[in-house]
Amino acid sequence: MDRRPVLTTVALAATVVLMSCGKKEEAPTAAAPAQPAPAAAPAAQGSVDAAKRWIDSEFQPSVLSKEEQLKEMEWFIAAAKPFAGMEINVLSETIPTHEYESKTLAKAFFEITGIKVNHQLLGEGEVVQAVQTQMQTNRNLYDGYINDSDLIGTHSRLQSAVNLTDWMAGEGKDVTNPGLDVKDFIGISFTTGPDGKIWQLPDQQFANLYWFRKDWFDKPELKAKFKAKYGYDLGVPVNWSAYEDIAHFFSVDVKEIDGKRIYGHMDYGKRAPDLGWRMTDAWLSMAGASSQGLPNGRPIDEWGIRMEKGSCNPAGASVSRGGETNGPASVYAIAKWDEWLRKYAPPGAADYDFYQSLPALAQGNVAQQVFWYTAFTASMVAPKKDGNNTVDDNGNPLWRMAPSPKGSYWVEGMKLGYQDAGSWTLFKSTPLDRRKAAWLYGQFVVSKTVDTKKSHVGLTFIRDSTVRHASFTERAPKLGGLVEFYRSPDRVLWTPTGINVPDYPKLAQLWWQQIGDVNSGAFTPQKAMDRLADEMDQVMARMQEADEKAKTYGGCGPRLNKPVDPKQWLGKPDGPKAKLANEKPKGVTMPYEEIVKRWASAK
């Protein structure tokens, strides 16, 4: 999920007490903004002239004609009339897409509708903390959130969020855009709960794919040298064995290209919250630690949490309870992360956090990265003059993105990797008028009128119509495979955290501390995952107690299996996988051109 930021400790619970007074203060924490009283309405309470001006000057290109755009904006003007003059607060993480919304689209929305939006940007950890606090206190910290769909299991259980399916047909019908076109959203299945209801509306999406220097992989002398040593072609790795061979090849055998020291792998290992998200973002399932099934494995998901098919009650994370958090495949995943980081990454990478690893990649001394977020495509196509050494003099990328390689435990039918879907989330604790105004803004920033232009800025596609627009056909060669991927059916094989996770904020915080102890050398991967699985079960046991007493989780809280000898579960059908005799089979690669051809031909 939330791979970008470092979580800070914020006294949100104390902040909500002060919400009724004082002006909003600028602060680098998740302290909630004061709720302003409705201000005097601006001179233009919804302006068609403003809409025309924005359509002409900013909202191009678009999948809609200018006439269709104006018609959509006229609907927003009419629907916003009861709220003109209102000032609302929304919160999202800090990525280019949301920066564009905060700086540009919020201004446009105000001029067009008369509703002023304070769109605050914070680290994703702080966003999760604010969401958690609003859920726990029922105090209105923000009127709307762009919150990762990784919390779908939390929202559908706690019922403190607004069920958008019912909202759009009921209380929110008068402020629901008739041109919203829910079916056009690529990731709408990710934000649909086990009840079949939509709980969140996607605002941005990005996948976690494989990244590599195609210019280096195409060098004839390197291809010949690799083939001679390993017996197969240098290409996009299909499995982790090939990825490891390629990492060794560039770090140990090649060592230098054009007089520059180069490395075969990039990652990070600093003991910080983003290290936990590095793992919960499907790293275990990429290794093969989960059951088959999409969008997430059932009965075992990519966190190793067991929940039987047809049930909404998680049964445990430990192998002794039928889970897989500390199973052989999960331990293999952590061991490989640690081994590759130490052997093949640039010096100091083990001490990098997420933020330090990205600019390091742009230095141009890394051959491949197994775990790379497409949200950073915009940064990686920046011109050379901006310090990006992964493009040529004409701005063409020297790299490409491709499907993630799979670990030795992976089997057909499992999810292939992680995809972030930052999505609009409303809470019942938000007063109805403020909730409606926030819903209007949320729909505005994902509307067909603005989405194509927003996608050109942030490159985080949410609409099928947008990614198929002619402007992206033209731009595709400059984006390293991003457009081809999002036009292919593969785009739904990379999925967010699913419904097996009963309370994301409570469980996610456990991961980074245990994984950090592997990086420090304090614990082996097995010991760390044993501790993690046990802690997850302890937290879920408390959730179970609360749910049994007061239906805190709507009757869908954990119901843990009694622990037994792990041998009773390992290797059983629908159980955690038993340890393989050989965790490094022969490497397999495929030409990048075949991948692109498959993406292009698929419907």
- 266-295, pLDDT tens digit by residue? 999 999 888 998 999 999 999 999 999 988
Both 63 and 165 in one domain: the answer is yes
Residue 170 lies in a domain: yes
Q: How far apart are CA 490 and CA 497, in angstroms?
A: 17
Q: How far apart are CA 135 and CA 99, in angstroms?
A: 25
Provide the mean pLDDT of the chain.
Answer: 90
Tokens representing 117 are 């939006």
Residue 504 lies in a domain: yes
Kindly state the helix (H) or strand (E) to which residue 521 belongs, with its residue range: none
Residue 580 lies in a domain: no
Cis before 295 (ω within 30): yes
What backbone phi and psi angles, to 5 degrees, belong to 399?
Answer: -115, 170
Burial of 78 (0-12, 13-18, 19+ CB in 10 A): exposed
Q: What is the mean pLDDT of residues 483-487?
A: 95
Residue where the block lists tokens 């099928």: 464
Burial of 99 (0-12, 13-18, 19+ CB in 10 A): middle
Both 23 and 82 in one domain: the answer is yes
Residue 573 lies in a domain: no
**What is the per-residue pLDDT for 35?**
45
Residue 471 lies in a domain: yes
Q: Tell me the HSE value of 66 on the side-chain side, using a 13 A CA sphere.
A: 10
Whether pLDDT at 7 is above 80:
no
Calculate the alpha carbon distances from 249 to 344, 346, 409 in Å: 9, 14, 24
Tokens representing 33 are 């903004």
Calculate the alpha carbon distances from 147 to 8, 186, 203, 442 in Å: 17, 17, 9, 12
pLDDT digits (tens, 9 = 90+) for 287-318: 999 999 988 999 999 999 999 999 999 999 99
Both 430 and 356 in one domain: the answer is no
Give the pLDDT band (50/70/90) at residue 603: low
**What is the per-residue pLDDT for 358?**
76
Kindly give the pairing relationship between strand 87-93 and strand 144-148: parallel
Both 152 and 166 in one domain: the answer is yes
Given a contact cutoff of 8 angstroms between Cβ atoms, the answer to whether 329 and 407 are in contact is: yes
Q: How large a percentage of the chain has pLDDT more than 70?
A: 92
Both 432 and 317 in one domain: the answer is no
pLDDT digits (tens, 9 = 90+) for 174-197: 999 999 999 999 999 999 988 899
pLDDT digits (tens, 9 = 90+) for 554-600: 999 999 999 999 999 999 999 999 999 999 999 999 999 999 988 88
Both 70 and 175 in one domain: the answer is yes
Domain count of the fold of the chain: 3
Domain end among 489, 518, 546: 489
In this structure, which amino acid lies at residue 439? W
Q: Cβ contacts of residue 367 below 8 Å, gap of 6+?
A: 212, 213, 216, 217, 246, 247, 250, 254, 262, 263, 264, 265
Both 101 and 18 in one domain: the answer is yes
Kindly state the helix (H) or strand (E) to which residue 443 belongs, with its residue range: helix 432-445
pLDDT digits (tens, 9 = 90+) for 212-271: 999 999 999 999 999 999 999 999 999 999 999 999 999 999 999 999 999 999 999 999
pLDDT digits (tens, 9 = 90+) for 339-380: 999 999 999 999 998 878 877 888 999 999 999 999 889 889
**DSSP E strand boundaries for 149-226:** 201-213
3-state secondary structure 447-462: CHHHHHHHHHHHCCCC
Q: How far apart are CA 406 and CA 25, in angstroms?
A: 47
Look at 103 and 9; give whichever has higher pLDDT.
103
Tokens representing 470 are 């002619």
Q: How far apart are CA 72 and CA 450, in angstroms?
A: 10
pLDDT digits (tens, 9 = 90+) for 426-451: 999 999 999 999 999 999 999 999 99
Give the pLDDT band (50/70/90) at residue 602: low
Calculate the alpha carbon distances from 375 to 34, 96, 443 in Å: 31, 8, 21
Both 318 and 398 in one domain: the answer is no
Provide the residue range defining the domain that includes 355.
207-271+332-412+586-601
Please spell the DSSP secondary structure of 74-85, one letter per residue: HHHHHHHGGGTT
Length of the chain: 603
Both 146 and 282 in one domain: the answer is no
Both 533 and 557 in one domain: the answer is yes
Residue where the block lists tokens 């692109």: 596
Residue 417 lies in a domain: no
Both 44 and 90 in one domain: the answer is yes
Domain end among 440, 460, 489: 489
Both 72 and 132 in one domain: the answer is yes
Q: How far apart are CA 413 and CA 136, in angstroms?
A: 37
Q: Residue 575 has what DSSP assignment?
A: S
Q: Choose among 86, 55, 5, 122: nearest CA to 439.
A: 86
Q: How many of the other CB atoms lie within 10 Å of CB of 363?
A: 15
Q: How far apart are CA 252 and CA 250, in angstroms?
A: 6
Whether pLDDT at 32 is above 70:
no
Residue 318 lies in a domain: yes
**What is the per-residue pLDDT for 261?**
97
3-state secondary structure of 87: strand
pLDDT digits (tens, 9 = 90+) for 379-433: 899 999 999 999 999 999 999 999 999 999 999 999 989 999 999 999 999 999 9
What backbone phi and psi angles, to 5 degrees, belong to 492?
Answer: -100, 5
Residue 194 lies in a domain: yes
Kindly give the pairing relationship between strand 260-261 and strand 589-590: unpaired
**DSSP E strand boundaries for 443-598:** 494-495, 589-590
Given a contact cutoff of 8 angstroms between Cβ atoms, the answer to whether 223 and 234 are in contact is: yes
Q: What is the pTM of this model?
A: 0.88
Residue 595 belongs to a domain with what CATH number? 3.40.190.10
3-state secondary structure 276-340: HHHHHCCHHHHHCCCCCCCCCCCCECCCCCECCCCCCCCCECCHHHCCCCCCHHHHHHHHHHHHH
Domain end among 489, 506, 532: 489
Q: What is the mean pLDDT of residues 332-345?
A: 97
Give the pLDDT band (50/70/90) at residue 95: confident
**What is the per-residue pLDDT for 341?**
96
Give the pLDDT band (50/70/90) at residue 12: very low
